[in-house]
Amino acid sequence: MRRQAWEGTRAVFRLAVVELHGGTRPESVLAPLHPVSWENTAARLHAYVDGLTLHASRYPEQNPPEAVRDALSSYLATLTD
């Protein structure tokens, strides 16, 4: 069950990376992306959002929703530079 949840979450980040780069959606989002740099970007984005979510849920006073949105927007902008 955990593996399926992880794969589903990674699939969302793969699709996000494809969209950010203006690529074509893969036939299966369960398979790693090509080029490999896109898969690496999806992995980094997944880790970033996991960490941001953890901090926002554990320390909401220091991480209000607007700050979390701003942090994510800034991070996403770096992926398309």
Residue 29: predicted pLDDT: 84
Is residue 81 scored above 80 in pLDDT?
A: no
Domain extent for 34? 2-79
pLDDT one-digit tens code per residue, 28-69:
988 899 999 999 999 999 999 999 999 999 999 999 999 999
Q: Is 20 helix (H, G, I), strand (E, B) or coil?
A: helix
Residue 30: predicted pLDDT: 87
Is residue 13 scored above 80 in pLDDT?
A: yes
The helix, strand and coil proportions of the chain, stated in percent and rounded to the nearest 5, come to 70, 0, 30
- Record the pTM: 0.90
What's the number of domains the chain is made of? Answer: 1
